[in-house]
């Protein structure tokens, strides 16, 4: 086969969504993606791989809690990353306009498809819809990819006003 007859690789479909239920396959994919992120060193607090039942209960808990909003990223329909919004408790009236962004990661095998960017855009959309004006997040200085991502999105937002 010469170069002209070679089939072009098909780009994978990258998508993000807010999710309120997880079927068994999705829970499994989410746990696999979390394992991959933890092994890659970006496991939002996990240092070692937790047992699968602990991870499953963690994500089922997130889905069950009204104060949490879960967004997932998919590559060719397989869940490969997440982002959560933690709403403030009702007694925190002084900070009722502030929401916390956490568990933001894309599994290493799915990086470079603009999924993190799409997730943050979705987070901003959902935060506005829920009536929040400020999104807070913590990032370690060693997470250089994440810092580049947040800074590039901030610069783009500032340049468009």
32 exposure class (CB count in 10 Å sphere: 0-12, 13-18, 19+): middle
| Residue 107 φ then ψ, to 5° | -55, 140
**Is 145 near ligand COA (CB under 6 A)?**
yes
**Is 92 near ligand COA (CB under 6 A)?**
no
Q: Which of 36, 55, 75, 106 binds ligand COA (CB under 6 A)?
A: 106
**Is 83 near ligand COA (CB under 6 A)?**
no
Applying CB under 6 A, the span of 26-34, 46-54, 61-69, 106-114 interacting with ligand COA comes to 106-114
The site string for ligand COA over 18-37 (x = CB under 6 A, - otherwise) reads -------------------x
Q: Are 102 and 44 in contact (CB under 8 A)?
A: yes
Residue from 123, 117, 143, 110 nearest 44 by CA: 143
Strand 134-136 and strand 14-18: pairing? unpaired
Binding-site ranges for ligand COA (CB under 6 A):
37, 42, 104-106, 111-117, 137, 139, 143, 145-146, 148-149, 152
């Amino acid at each position: 086969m010469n170069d002209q007859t070679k089939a072009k690789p098909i780009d994978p479909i990258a998508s993000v969504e807010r999710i309120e239920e997880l079927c068994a396959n999705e829970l499994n994919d989410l746990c696999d993606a979390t394992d991959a992120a933890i092994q890659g060193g970006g496991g939002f607090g996990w240092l070692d791989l937790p047992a699968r039942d602990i991870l499953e209960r963690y994500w089922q808990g997130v889905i069950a809690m009204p104060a949490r909003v879960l967004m997932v990223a998919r590559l060719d329909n397989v869940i490969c990353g997440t982002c959560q919004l933690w709403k403030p408790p009702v007694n925190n009236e002084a900070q009722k306009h502030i929401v916390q962004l956490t568990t933001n990661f894309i599994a290493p095998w799915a990086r470079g498809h603009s999924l993190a960017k799409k997730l943050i855009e979705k987070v901003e959309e959902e935060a506005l819809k829920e009536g929040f004006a400020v999104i807070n997040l913590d990032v370690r200085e060693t997470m250089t990819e994440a810092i580049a991502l947040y800074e590039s999105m901030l610069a783009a937002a500032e340049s468009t006003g």
